[in-house]
Amino acid sequence: MLPQLATILNSQKPGAALINAIDKLLSEDRYLFSCDANERSLTHRLACHIQCEFTDWHVDCEYNRDINSSDEVHFRKRLIGLALDPNSDDTEGKTVFPDIIVHKRGSANNHLVIEVKKSNSSVSRNIDLDKLQAYKSELGYSHALFLVFNTGQAPSLEHAEWR
């Protein structure tokens, strides 16, 4: 990992654990990068490596549930203030599926949310950056991280940004 990216990651508390997980992803799962596998394949493997670093937390991909702490009713995770195309039955807000979250299931304890993009993606990075900001302000995540990975024969982390 480039020193400047390690410095960015280490600027917030979970950074050291994430550096370990990213290093494992890049070394142990190189094939996924070399064959340009789907982003979901990469995020799944990264989540597995993150789980090893955050053993007292739940690590989930594409997790779309939230809880109303007053009566423990589970409902779809939504971002009200973000202009996204909602799913067809979404009448109260915007249903969201964060790439990776570190949290305590069944509680409002949301530690970390991560959005991942491949460098060759045609989807605007601004969408993920806006979602991350909303995850923090609307859903109470303590940390929000945006990662961009280069694919191909020499996979690498291209960009890391805390929101």
Q: Give the C-alpha distances (Å, rounded to integers) separating 79 from 6, 93, 108, 143, 152.
A: 30, 6, 15, 16, 34
Q: What is the pLDDT of residues 124-146, one digit of tens each?
A: 999 899 999 999 998 899 999 99
Q: What is the pLDDT of residues 85-96, one digit of tens each?
A: 444 454 444 457
What is the predicted pLDDT for the residue at 28? 98
pLDDT tens across the length of the chain (163 residues) = 889 999 999 999 999 999 999 999 999 999 999 999 999 999 999 999 999 999 999 999 998 776 654 555 445 555 555 555 444 454 444 457 899 999 999 888 999 999 999 999 998 999 899 999 999 998 899 999 999 999 999 999 999 999 9
What is the predicted pLDDT for the residue at 91? 41
* CA 2/CA 99 separation, integer angstroms: 23
Model pTM score: 0.86
